[in-house]
Amino acid sequence: MTAKPRFVQPDGFKLLPGYFSPDQQRALARTVLAALDAAPLYRPCMPRTGAPLSVQMSNFGPLGWISDREGYRYQTMHPDTGAPWPPLPQALRDLWAGVGDWPDAPEACLINWYDAGARLGLHVDADEDAKFAPVVSVSLGDRARFRLGGADRKAATASFILSSGDVVVLGGPSRRCFHGVDRIYPGTSSLLPERWRPGRINLTLRRVHRSG
Ligand code: MD6
Ligand code: FE
């Protein structure tokens, strides 16, 4: 018999519950949903297989993260409209300044949209040249079960509930740890307007270039 491996919380991982007040969440949600008129959600697919992801995406900022048959990358324009991404909202710049502990400004914010059945498999955010910069996220809308593991895909994992307004920081060694979203809990938030329920938005802020 070998003992079941125990989850050890990686250094640099922070969960900041209720970082955004309900009023701040509403204001941020309004900004995000307005930006989606200009940069509509699209359904990305997996490299090679072309299998669609259940999460729909868009981006804010000079760069946006894309997944398609060609692979994963950052690009300056929306894959469907060809337009530049909407600018990073000030509230997200402030969030980065407040918790990012990084000298350079964020360049990309991935907008993840989860409908009732969406999930996100275990992954490492690894497409940034600034591979030591933290990734900072904020969640809006329905709760989700977030899973965090180690740098090895097979390492033990633990799950955390993320509620609307919660902030997650993957900095330091935790930056290279596998994580994903097992499921959302439909109907657990009334933050978003009716037509966006049930559902959850997660915004991940990243620094892409090393400096300058
Ligand atoms: C999500 N979050 O919460 C997915 N990545 O929907 C992420 O994949 C994530 O929350 C890096 C840092 C923070 C995150
Ligand atoms: Fe991630």
pLDDT of 4: 79
pLDDT of 5: 83
Residue corresponding to tokens 């933290």: 134
Atom of ligand 1 nearest to the CA of 146: 3
Ligand closest in space to the Cα of 167 = 1
Domain boundaries of the chain, sorted by first residue: 13-206
* Residue 33 pLDDT greater than 80, yes or no: yes
* Residue 38 pLDDT greater than 90, yes or no: yes
**DSSP E strand stretches across the chain:** 13-16, 56-60, 64-68, 71-75, 108-114, 120-123, 135-141, 143-148, 158-162, 167-170, 179-185, 200-206
Residues contacting residue 88 through CB under 8 Å, at least 6 positions apart:
60, 61, 106, 109, 205
Classify 120 as helix, strand or coil.
Answer: strand
**Which of the four pLDDT bands, split at 50, 70 and 90, describes residue 174?**
very high
Cβ–ligand 1 contact at 163 (below 6 Å): no
pLDDT of 2: 73
Region 126-132: what's the mean pLDDT?
Answer: 96
Cβ–ligand 1 contact at 181 (below 6 Å): yes
**Cα 125 to ligand 2 centre (Å):** 5
Query: Which residue's CA lies nearest to atom 6 of ligand 1?
Result: 202
Structure confidence by residue, pLDDT tens digits, 92-103 = 999 999 999 999
Region 176-205: what's the mean pLDDT?
Answer: 98
Residue 108 has, within 13 A of its CA and on its CB side, a CA count of 27
Return mean pLDDT, the chain.
97
Q: CA–CA distance from 168 to each of 23, 72, 114, 165 (Å)?
A: 19, 22, 17, 10
Region 197-207: what's the mean pLDDT?
Answer: 98
Classify 90 as helix, strand or coil.
Answer: helix
**Cα 157 to ligand 2 centre (Å):** 15
**Cα 16 to ligand 1 centre (Å):** 13
pLDDT of 139: 99
Domain covering 13-206 in this structure, CATH number: 2.60.120.590
* Residue 86 pLDDT greater than 90, yes or no: yes
Region 189-193: what's the mean pLDDT?
Answer: 98
* Residue 23 pLDDT greater than 90, yes or no: yes
Cβ–ligand 1 contact at 120 (below 6 Å): yes
Percent of the chain at pLDDT exceeding 90:
97
**Cα 181 to ligand 2 centre (Å):** 9
pTM of the model: 0.97
In sequence order, what DSSP letters do the residues of 137-185 get, joined into one string? EEEEESEEEEEE--SSTTS--EEEEE-TT-EEEE-GGGGGS-EEEEEEE
